[in-house]
Amino acid sequence: MSAHATPVSSSPRSGGTDDPALLGRIENTIRFLAVDAVERAGIGHVGAAMALAAAAFELWDNHLRFDPQDPEWPLRDRFILSNGHASLLQYSLLHLFGFDLSLEDIGRFRQLGSRTPGHPEYGDTAGVELTTGPLGQGIAHAVGMALAGRMTGSQFGGGAIEGAGRDRPGQHFVYGIVGDGCLMEGVSSEAASFAGSHSLGNLIFIYDDNAITIDGGTEITFSESVPKRFDAYGWHVVDAVDGQDRTALAEALEAGRRETGRPTLIILKTLIGRGAPNFEGRNKAHGGPLGEDETKLAKSGLGWPTEGDLIVPDDVREYCVGRGAAKHAERVAADARLETWRVANAEAAAAWDTARTRSMPTDLTDKLVEGLDGAKNATRKHSATVLERLAEYVPYMAGGSADLAGSAAPPIVKSAGVVGPGAGEGIDPFAGRNIHFGVREHAMGSIANGIALDGTFLAYCGTFMIFSDYMRPAIRLAALQKAQTLFVFTHDSIFVGEDGPTHQPVEQLDSLRVIPGLTVFRPADGVETAMAYAYYLQAAQGSDRCASGPILLSLTRQGLPGLERPESFEPTDVWKGAYIVSNPDGKADVVLLATGSEVSLAVGAAEELARDGLKSRVVSMPSVELFLEQSEADQDAILPDDGTPIVAIEAGRGETLRRFVGRRGLVIGMESFGASAPYEALANHFGFTASKVAKRVKAHV
């Protein structure tokens, strides 16, 4: 144990067996389920599962709180396998403890439609808390889950009564396993720094320190002291625990639970590919099957049957089924104590239920839109107005920005309090809902996803649109998991102005629109901004009219006029993805299709064209994705398919709008990066003025 580690003392296991022979068979069951499944698939990762079998079973058997009959039980501990390539380790544990995952499922590892994909995927497999695989993302998401737990405990789980203990909201732990690859990725550094600075004592991770990477030993590229690094982040570090010493690991986990003011990292020394004589301790154990000969050598060396595969001995099955039943019984008893807490703390319990069920005022949409029709402002400032209203109407929304709250990206919600060290002296650091993520965009998106997946708070986060590039893995994972995360990006075009091309998005909006399952809004004024938020909240409630999954807002830095719309307009028309802003008398000669800040520009261009005798229809398209979900008839009613020229206008590349104008159609967008100048000068230089747009439209028509 290192000099900086906290000493640990022995503690009894929570009902598990101490029979070394049985524990050895269980360990080998986990080990060879992984080996056999990879052999069947012909591809996969066996090394980490073979190394971690003993440690992972100790964690699940004696420390992790869960109910295999109800994987979504709110009081459960969370388990995150950050090194998701070791997925068979988790699948084996889920199967043995009685989750809805059969031996046949394990036998179909990595096959089309199976519930055992190559990396754990949230929603595919009961008991998998989040999708892991992209290294570093698991531990970063886990930080968000731990933060959500602390905030839940503070805001909804107070008023503890004698004997309630952990049996009230937010008292769970977030456990995980992380490998070298995760700790090399930059996102884990950002997340670990955040966890330490925010004192997340409910976060306990085991670091699989096997000193091996795919290309060789870690010494070829990864030489820092991980214990010292995490000590510097403000973590409680327990160093040099033998991966086969269950008692030492149990003591380390108990020490982590006692350390309520700091997250814990347990340095677990393991042997990759343990039991395979020609693979163990070598980089070739990381990936791929052992092969028939090495599999037989490993099985015979550990006293395992060499004939047949996917073997679960009867005594192993009996023990694990019994432990799964015991976990369920513990859950029943915990729920009884929770009910006692509910009676004694009716107000807190009702507030928690409101958050978990996503209850909202029935007239919320009207409340959000009120006073914004015709209002002139930047859409980032309209967003700030809406967020202030939501602090009252939806008090379980939580989020913040990457050190850009002063730029309304998104802003501090004045009535909601601050999370973490910024809360102020003597103030509960988890009683607020404004999160200062710091300059950590990579981790911010992942932490927000973790908050959303925890299930109590609705999470939002934001920064300048250009820095969405840093967040792309988290945005993609949000879409993959259908997480209800709201991404709020401001400064969304070249009209950022003087900061220049490094800060001016050009290609970002197009690249975000092509992520499957992500709904992007680029609102043109306050009404569209409010309705984008309303859509997000409807989706969070599970409304049939709204797609599940993350929502992204693309908001302006510069002020915009409020649009004048026809009397027939209803605010929910925004949810159709596109609608008519203005129509000429008689058939239009051209349709001007625009998004965001360019809608008012299109209105101005239409007025110029009218003076030259050209009739224009102006269409606002706040969401390409939602428009494409409409029927062909509804699409044709907005963008006619009768030969009328359609011109798309967007102060970015605009390539995702090209499908609407046709191969020979005109997209007035950016063909280069921007430049450093006041935004009015940029508009003139790049052709985004009413007169210059009208000139190009006339030439095209």
Digit-coded pLDDT (tens) for 521-576: 999 999 999 999 999 999 999 998 888 999 999 999 999 999 999 999 999 999 99
H-assigned helices in 426-519:
441-454, 472-481, 508-513
| Domains recognised in the chain with CATH numbers | 20-329 (3.40.50.970), 364-554 (3.40.50.970), 574-700 (3.40.50.920)
The better pLDDT of the pair 469, 7 is held by 469
Per-residue model confidence as pLDDT tens digits over 179-225: 999 999 999 999 999 999 999 999 999 999 999 999 999 999 999 99
- Counting Cα atoms < 13 Å in the Cβ hemisphere of 75 gives 20
Instruction: Give the E-state strand segments of 596-683 in sequence order.
Output: 616-620, 646-649, 666-668
Determine contact, residues 607/561, Cβ cutoff 8 Å.
no
Per-residue model confidence as pLDDT tens digits over 495-531: 999 999 999 999 999 999 999 999 999 999 999 999 9
Q: Which two tokens stand for residue 105?
A: 């499922």
What element of type H or E holds 580? strand 579-582
pLDDT of residue 12: 38
- For 455, other C-beta atoms within 10 Å of its C-beta total 15
What is the maximal distance between C-alpha atoms in the chain?
91
Per-residue model confidence as pLDDT tens digits over 63-92: 999 999 999 999 999 999 999 999 999 999
H-assigned helices in 501-597:
508-513, 526-540
Distance CA 55, CA 68 (A): 20
pLDDT of residue 14: 59
Distance CA 195, CA 437 (A): 10
Q: Where residue 226 falls among pLDDT bands split at 50, 70, 90?
A: very high
Active site residues: 441
- Buried b / exposed e over 620-654, threshold 16 CB at 10 Å, is bbbbbbbbeeeeeeebeebbeeeeebbbbbbbbbb
What element of type H or E holds 239? strand 236-242
pLDDT of residue 287: 87
Q: Please report, in angstroms and rounded to a whole number, the separation of the first and last CA atoms in the chain.
A: 77
pLDDT of residue 16: 86
User: For residue 618, which of 634, 610, 606, 607 has the smallest C-alpha distance?
Assistant: 606
DSSP line for 317-363: HHHHHHHHHHHHHHHHHHHHHHHHHHHHTHHHHHHHHHHHHT---TT
pLDDT of residue 251: 98
Residue 9 clears pLDDT 50, i.e. is over it: no
Give the global pTM: 0.96
Distance CA 71, CA 348 (A): 24
Residue at token pair 């909240």: 537
Determine contact, residues 500/493, Cβ cutoff 8 Å.
no
Whole-number mean pLDDT of the chain?
95
Give the orientation angle of helix 346-357 with respect to helix 314-344, to 10 degrees.
120
Distance CA 640, CA 695 (A): 23
Determine contact, residues 463/404, Cβ cutoff 8 Å.
yes
Q: Where residue 663 falls among pLDDT bands split at 50, 70, 90?
A: confident
- Buried b / exposed e over 9-31, threshold 16 CB at 10 Å, is eeeeeeebeeeeeebebbbbbbb
Burial of 217 (0-12, 13-18, 19+ CB in 10 A): middle
In this prediction, residues 219-244 reach a mean pLDDT of: 96
